[in-house]
Amino acid sequence: GECLKAAEALAARGIATTVADARFAKPLDRELILALAAGHEALITVEEGAIGGFGSHVAQLLAEAGAFDRGLRFRSLFLPDRFIDHDSPARMYDVAGLNAPQIEAKVLATLGIGQIAARRA
Residues 76 and 58: beta-carbon distance below 8 Å: yes
- Least-confidence region, from 26-30, 33-37, 104-108: 26-30
Query: Is the confidence at residue 112, as pLDDT, over 50?
Result: yes
**What is the predicted pLDDT for the residue at 120?**
42
Q: What is the pTM of this model?
A: 0.81
Which secondary-structure segment (H or E) carries 104?
Answer: helix 100-111
The stretch 81-95 carries a mean pLDDT of: 69
> Mean per-residue pLDDT for 22-36?
88
Which of 2, 31, 28, 106 is CA-nearest to residue 19? 2
CA nearest to 56, candidates 81, 38, 35, 39? 81
Name the pLDDT band for 84 (thresholds 50, 70, 90): low
Q: Which domains does the chain have, with CATH numbers?
A: 2-120 (3.40.50.920)
Instruction: Tell me the HSE value of 32 on the side-chain side, using a 13 A CA sphere.
Output: 12
Q: How far apart are CA 50 and CA 98, in angstroms?
A: 12
